[in-house]
Amino acid sequence: MGVPTSVSSSAAPGLDLDAIRNDFPVLHQQVHGHPLVYLDNGASAQKPEAVIQMIADYYCKDHANVHRGVHTLSQRATDRYEGVRGKVRDFIHAESTNEIVYVRGTTEAINLVASSYGQAFVGPEDEVLVTEMEHHSNIVPWQLLCERTNATLKVVPFDDRGELILDRYRDILNERTRIVAITQVSNALGTINPVRDMIAMAHDAGAVVLVDGAQAVPHMSVDVTALDCDFYAFSGHKLYGPTGIGVLYGRESLLDAMPPWQGGGEMIMQVRFDGTEYNELPYKFEAGTPDIAGVVGLGAAIDYVAGLGLDLIDEHEQQLLAYATARAAEQSGMRVIGTASDKAAILSFELDGIHPHDVGTVLDHEGIAVRTGHHCAMPVMEHFGVPATVRASFGLYNTHAEIDRLFGAIDKAQELFGQ
């Protein structure tokens, strides 16, 4: 098969891929006798040595509970924990650390908003608006809210390229819309949605907007102030940081007006049986002992990614996507699912006559890790009439040579299944 010559096969200038790959110990191993090609970054990205070492360093030197002790270790742990809050604020261009709430991940962030904001501000006549391409984490919490409040869930459809139909969005928005919950980047299709415009339209209708940034933050620089979103959620583990830690950004005035979500230590100022006074922001939303090491690791991940530069990462990944897309166009029996004009580095596809799980198994035997399945986006699968897709999702350490390996393995799968 001919490889398109018009597509550059080099990394974006400024990214030293050999050095970057050396930062990730896990990449240097054989799987089924082949060098690992890790193309499942959309599910979870690998961790650089800087993150791994930062967590070890924290446990070796400074671990104690935060905000609870006058002793030195507790103060050191608190300094590290709060220092990262400032890093996160700067990373997403929030105005204040009061707007940065540590959570377990995107899922927890969305559940927090659906429960707390939803309970306080959504009623039976109201509508909550999501899109057809949301991850289940940005559907089910709103369904639960609607069940509890008798509000109505409205869904904005997308077209067959995987682009939201903005005219339908405009039609569905109305004065009863309380919350719009949209993903910035679809995990199943790669579509980058025009969230900035969508936020402005929602605000004109009087609704608040939550942006699911799980698949956006690792690939592009995010500015919550420029976006003017009300809530923004992301997970550390897709950003080359640890699992179990994520961030909810919330506009301060909204977080202030919201009731606490979980009760417990840390989120209180004063507890009495005749009434409890809650802590100030952001602690009002951080009940219990947090994932301190996770926060410390997230800080190292942010430093790592910011040190490389998100613009360069984006440029490199766009080159990978263009190369993979061009190769896919030449591969017979392959259908790409998600062909929006603006995409992040995700290639979802199916092969004629071969179940995606079988493709995934053949690829694994060639040392290539991809995700197969519904990607927790069943409505997307339903739209395209497929049970599942194969998804290659690229990260900052992936190379053009790895995409060649992917297509070599796809050839093998097609030969094996007689396609």
Tokens representing 221?
Answer: 């620089």
Nearer to ligand C6P, 17 or 43 (CB): 43
Tell which residue, 222, 223, 214, has the closest CA to residue 182.
214
Whether the upstream peptide bond of residue 282 has omega within 30° of 0, thus cis, is: yes
Nearest-approach distance from CB 245 to ligand C6P, in angstroms: 10
- Which C-beta is closer to ligand C6P: that of 15 or that of 84? 84
Write down the least CB distance from residue 74 to ligand C6P, Å.
Answer: 29
How far apart are the C-alpha atoms of 86 and 99, rounded to whole Å?
A: 10
Nearer CB in complex with ligand C6P: 187/279: 187
Residue given tokens 């061009």 in the structure block: 326
What distances in angstroms separate CA 400 from CA 74, 287, 395, one per listed residue? 46, 45, 12
Min. distance of Cβ 114 from ligand C6P in angstroms?
A: 13
Task: Compute how many residues bind ligand C6P; rule: CB under 6 A.
Answer: 17
Q: Is 298 a binder of ligand C6P (CB under 6 A)?
A: no
Among 20, 38, 39, 42, binds ligand C6P (CB under 6 A): 42
Nearer to ligand C6P, 42 or 282 (CB): 42
Q: Which is nearer to ligand C6P, 316 or 375 (CB)?
A: 375
46 binds ligand C6P (CB under 6 A): no
Helix (H, G, I), strand (E, B) or coil at 44: coil
Query: What is the closest distance, in whole angstroms, from the C-beta atom of residue 381 to ligand C6P in the complex?
Result: 13
Helix, strand, coil percent content, the chain, rounded in steps of 5: 45, 20, 40
The interface mask with ligand C6P, positions 126-165, x = CB under 6 A, is ---------x-xx---------------------------
Q: Is 229 a catalytic residue?
A: no
If one asks whether residue 369 binds ligand C6P (CB under 6 A), the answer comes out as: no
When binding is defined by CB under 6 A, the residue of 62, 132, 212, 291 that contacts ligand C6P is: 212
Give start and end residues of each alpha helix (H) in 103-139. 106-121
Contact 356, 346 (CB under 8 A): no
Residue 71 main-chain phi, psi, to 5 deg: -75, 165
| Cβ-based nearer residue to ligand C6P, 327 or 374 | 374
Four-residue CA torsion sign, 142, 147, 152, 156? positive
CA triplet 396, 88, 371: central angle to 5 degrees?
35
- DSSP string for 337-367: S---SSB-SEEEEEETTB-HHHHHHHHHHTT
Binding mask 76-115 for ligand C6P (x = CB under 6 A): -----------------------------xxx--------
Among 208, 214, 359, 392, binds ligand C6P (CB under 6 A): 214
Report d(CA 391, CA 360) in Å as an integer.
9
Which of 60, 146, 229, 376 is labelled catalytic? 376
Please list every residue from 175 through 194 that binds ligand C6P, using CB under 6 A: 183, 187
Nearest-approach distance from CB 190 to ligand C6P, in angstroms: 11
Q: How far is the CB of 106 from ligand C6P (least distance, A)?
A: 4
Name which position in 80, 251, 375, 383 contacts ligand C6P (CB under 6 A).
375
11 vs 248, beta carbon nearer ligand C6P: 248
Among 7, 43, 201, 326, binds ligand C6P (CB under 6 A): 43
Indicate the residue type of 387: P
> What spatial distance separates the first Cα and last Cα of the chain, rounded to whole Å?
15
Distance in Å, CB of 382 to ligand C6P, minimum: 17
- Alpha-carbon distance of 324 to 330, in angstroms, equals 10
Instruction: Compare residues 248 and 320 and give the one whose CB is closer to ligand C6P.
Output: 248
Q: Report the alpha-carbon distance of residue 43 to residue 237 in Å, rounded.
A: 9
Compute the distance between CA of residue 164 and CA of residue 347 in angstroms, rounded to an integer.
18
Answer for which of 46, 235, 348, 414 binds ligand C6P (CB under 6 A) is 235
- Name residues whose C-beta falls within 8 Å of residue 80's C-beta, 6 or more positions apart in sequence: 58, 62, 292, 295, 296, 299
With CB under 6 A as the contact rule, which of the stretches 3-11, 19-27, 320-328, 368-376 interacts with ligand C6P?
Answer: 368-376
Judged by the rule CB under 6 A, the positions of this chain that interact with ligand C6P are: 42-43, 105-107, 135, 137-138, 183, 187, 212, 214-215, 235, 371, 375-376
**Catalytic residue positions, numbered:** 376
